[in-house]
Structure formats: structure tokens, C-alpha cells
């Protein structure tokens, strides 16, 4: 069985995000005040968070460790399957 693509033709992915009601109302007001959509404001916040985390040395080390672990598992799986 083939898996359905997880992204739309425009390269976006729909994600459900649960926010406390107050925070949802606040981001909606911020977005409207900036003349943008709530989705656009949330995307900008997520992008900023990722950029901010990328400057943290502890985060960088944790990310490096995760990548190394994932590569180890992927290589083991590939070997097991003869890929």
C-alpha cells in the first residue's frame, strides 16, 4: 500500500495546533493588526523559534546527537533489509 503524500501541491502541510483560548485570541489580534492571516503569524513565530533555537549551543549538541542516532538506526535498517 502506497502512503499518500504528506504535503500539498504548494509544498505546505496542514497541521493541527492546540492553543489555549487566550493565546489563540491574542495571535489572531496580532495578525489582524499586522494585516496578515493567523496562519502567517503562526508560521513567522515558528520560524523565529527555530532560528532562535539554532543559536543555542546546547540545542545544537542535542540536535547533532539526534541526527547521529537517526542515522545509526537508518543504516541498521538498511543493512537488515539489504538496501
Q: Could you report the per-residue pLDDT of 44-68, keeping only the tens digit for each?
A: 999 999 999 999 999 999 999 999 9
Q: What is the pLDDT of residues 5-37, one digit of tens each?
A: 567 788 889 999 999 999 999 999 999 999 999
- Scanning the structure block, which residue is given the C-alpha cell 546527537? 65
Helix, strand, or coil (residue 38): helix
Run of H or E residues at 68? helix 57-81
Amino acid at each position: 500500500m502506497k502512503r499518500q503524500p504528506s504535503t500539498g501541491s504548494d509544498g505546505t502541510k496542514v497541521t493541527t495546533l492546540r492553543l489555549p483560548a487566550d493565546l489563540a485570541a491574542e495571535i489572531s489580534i496580532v495578525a489582524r493588526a499586522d494585516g496578515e492571516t493567523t496562519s502567517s503569524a503562526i508560521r513567522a513565530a515558528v520560524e523565529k523559534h527555530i532560528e532562535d533555537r539554532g543559536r543555542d549551543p546546547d540545542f545544537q549538541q542535542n540536535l547533532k546527537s539526534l541526527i547521529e542516532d537517526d542515522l545509526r538506526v537508518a543504516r541498521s535498517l538498511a543493512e537488515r533489509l539489504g538496501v
